[in-house]
A = this chain, B = another copy of it.
Amino acid sequence: MATVRLWSDKDAAADPAVASVFEDIRATRKSDFINNFWRGLANDPALLKRTWDGLKAVMATEGALDPLVREMIYIAVSTANGCSYCIHSHTAAAKARGMTGAQHAELLAVIGLAGQTNHLVTAMQIPVDPEFEV
């Protein structure tokens, strides 16, 4: 269970600030589905708007990285942070953007390898090579 109320569509309709963000989510994503994250953020319309605007700016624009690559980076961070919801939602998003089984498998392999070497480096307290500091 959430620690905050998850706003239904009816709740959202009664608050213009929330309704307007929900509408933009639907228009941007071309889908009627609003996932629970936004329904929780609706308790603070200003935070909802800032978070959605930030997400649109980073994830839903043309840029130097392929949108699928951005989703995979998101999954990587969410895994290391242990955010179960985030792993589920962004794995779904990556699949919707065409992530193949082979790409997913390689993503997992890199995440696992980084987890291993991060721990080895930290336990050994390896000093940064001067060659890396440019």
Chain A residues at the B interface, C-beta cutoff of 8 Å: 1-4, 6, 33, 35-37, 40-41, 43-44, 46-47, 50-51, 54-55, 57-59, 63-65, 69-70, 72-89, 91-92, 100-129, 131-134
Q: Could you pull out 21 A-B pairs where Cβ atoms are within 8 angstroms?
A: A1-B127, A2-B125, A4-B104, A35-B129, A37-B126, A47-B105, A50-B57, A54-B113, A55-B117, A57-B109, A58-B106, A63-B102, A64-B102, A65-B106, A70-B106, A81-B114, A82-B83, A85-B126, A88-B133, A89-B132, A108-B123
Q: Given that A35-B132, A79-B77, A106-B65 are known contacts, is A114 also in contact with B119, CB under 8 Å in the complex?
A: yes
A117 neighbours in B (Cβ, 8 Å): 37, 51, 55, 86, 112
- Write the nearest CB–CB distance from A43 to chain B, whole angstroms: 6
**Number of identical protomers:** 6
* Cα–Cα distance between A127 and B68 once the two chains are bound (Å): 24
- Please name the residue on chain B nearest to A75 by beta carbon: B123
Q: Given that A33-B131, A89-B132, A116-B115 are known contacts, is A72 also in contact with B74, CB under 8 Å in the complex?
A: no
* Cα–Cα distance between A57 and B6 once the two chains are bound (Å): 23
* Cα–Cα distance between A124 and B57 once the two chains are bound (Å): 20
